[in-house]
Structure 1
Amino acid sequence: MRKLAAYTIPFVGLKIGSHGFEYEIGKELFEHFEYEDFNNANLHVDLVLDKKATMMELFFETSGTVNVNCDLTNEPFDMPISGSLRLVVNFGDEFNDENEELLILPHGEYEINIAQYVYEIIVLAVPHKRIHPGIEDGTLKSDVLDKLEELSPKGTNEDNDNEENIDPRWNKLKNLLNDK
């Protein structure tokens, strides 16, 4: 847990009002959480802590790039991401983080560790499907892409010709859909 000390904010000494914090995030944070989908990370997190008399509001904004492998070709590339989160911190009898936008800390707490929230913002900002930008614009040259092109089905015109040679029983089934 000592590695995450940089993400601990002692709020008890802060005056009421807004306070800004900045973090540069690398691969170390993800290694701590044993998240291995990123080859590398270069992210910037801006945090505004708005301290009030009985509660706090935390506003997270993150942007930067993560190096991930393409889902189609397994080629590594830098994917730009950005994300945000608003977290309300209240005080109560016991710790409760069941709600994703509300954190309840026990009375008497004097610091908050934000590493988990930074980690979640970044991981959730990455799209489920990671496609290398070179695939979309056609500039990526890869053995995997060449093999996919070679093995892809050819000739959509042939498919239309084959429809005429379909077993007539299937055509009767198609009529069921049209007879409404």
Structure 2
Amino acid sequence: MKSLKEFIIPFVGLKAGKHYFNFDIDDTFLHFFGFDDFNSAEVKVIMELDKKSTLMELSFTASGYVNVNCDVTNEAYNQDIINDMQLVVKFGQEFNDENIDILILPHGEYELNIQQYVYELIVLALPAKRVHPGVEDGTLESEILEKLDELSPKEKDIIEEKDSTDPRWDTLKKLLTDK
């Protein structure tokens, strides 16, 4: 995959200690990964890189919103997202990113590409089920919600269903009481 320049961090020239990097993410970044679930995005990612003599600790924080469609009504709304992630970068014989929290770079490497981590940070911040806030508090007016209310079973239908039993079960219940 092609790399985006702004997400390549040349860490060789950095002094030991903490360094901060800011990234403004929009929908073009997410479309770069082929992720089209968002209508638009406005997310700010702050990365703190703590460089030490033998390793680096990266701390990512994302906050902002993405415009997504509701899973119930398909209405677009802004979903707030807040997420953070920790990553430890060590040096070894060969590249290894099998562990979620640890990245091993080969000795002699001088830069780090963090675009995949930023992408995962944003996508994993979304809830599994996206529900418009107007659906939860009842303020959203939508044809889909009206149709769902029309087709949903009414309380009196549920009560009548509980009261009426199948006569075959009644016969079986008599067997228990006839002992």
Residues 99-110 of structure 1: matches in 2 within 5 Å? 99-110=99-110
Q: Deviations over 1:53-103 (max 9, x none)?
A: 011000000000000000001000000010000000000000000001000
Aligned CA distance change for structure 1 residues 169 and 47 (closer, same or farther; 3 Å): same
Aligned CA distance change for structure 1 residues 99 and 128 (closer, same or farther; 3 Å): same
Q: Deviations over 1:89-127 (max 9, x none)?
A: 000000000001000000010000110000001111100
Structure 1: any 5+ residue segments left out of the alignment? 176-180
| Distance in 2 (alpha carbons) for counterparts of 1:171 and 1:59 | 65
Q: Deviations over 1:151-180 (max 9, x none)?
A: 1112x23332333331143357789xxxxx
Aligned CA distance change for structure 1 residues 172 and 110 (closer, same or farther; 3 Å): farther
Q: Report the equivalent of 1:164.
A: 163
Partner secondary structure for residue 50 of structure 1:
strand
Aligned CA distance change for structure 1 residues 137 and 108 (closer, same or farther; 3 Å): same
Aligned CA distance change for structure 1 residues 153 and 54 (closer, same or farther; 3 Å): same
Cα RMSD, aligned residues only: 1.8
Residues 110-121 of structure 1: matches in 2 within 5 Å? 110-121=110-121
Give me the TM-score of the superposition, normalised by structure 1: 0.91
Q: Report the equivalent of 1:41.
A: 41
| Distance in 2 (alpha carbons) for counterparts of 1:76 and 1:70 | 6
Aligned CA distance change for structure 1 residues 173 and 142 (closer, same or farther; 3 Å): farther
Q: Report the equivalent of 2:95.
A: 95
Aligned CA distance change for structure 1 residues 59 and 80 (closer, same or farther; 3 Å): same
Bigger drift between 164-173 and 129-138 goes to 164-173
Q: Report the equivalent of 2:50.
A: 50
Aligned CA distance change for structure 1 residues 174 and 41 (closer, same or farther; 3 Å): farther
Question: 1:123 corresponds to which letter in structure 2?
Answer: V
Q: Report the equivalent of 1:73.
A: 73
Among all aligned residue pairs of Structure 1 and Structure 2, give the percentage whose two residues are the same amino acid. 56
Aligned CA distance change for structure 1 residues 3 and 97 (closer, same or farther; 3 Å): closer
| Distance in 2 (alpha carbons) for counterparts of 1:11 and 1:118 | 17
| Distance in 2 (alpha carbons) for counterparts of 1:7 and 1:57 | 16
Q: Report the equivalent of 2:128.
A: 128
Residues 19-30 of structure 1: matches in 2 within 5 Å? 19-30=19-30
| Distance in 2 (alpha carbons) for counterparts of 1:82 and 1:117 | 15
8 Å CA contact retained: 2:61, 2:84: yes
Partner secondary structure for residue 96 of structure 2:
coil
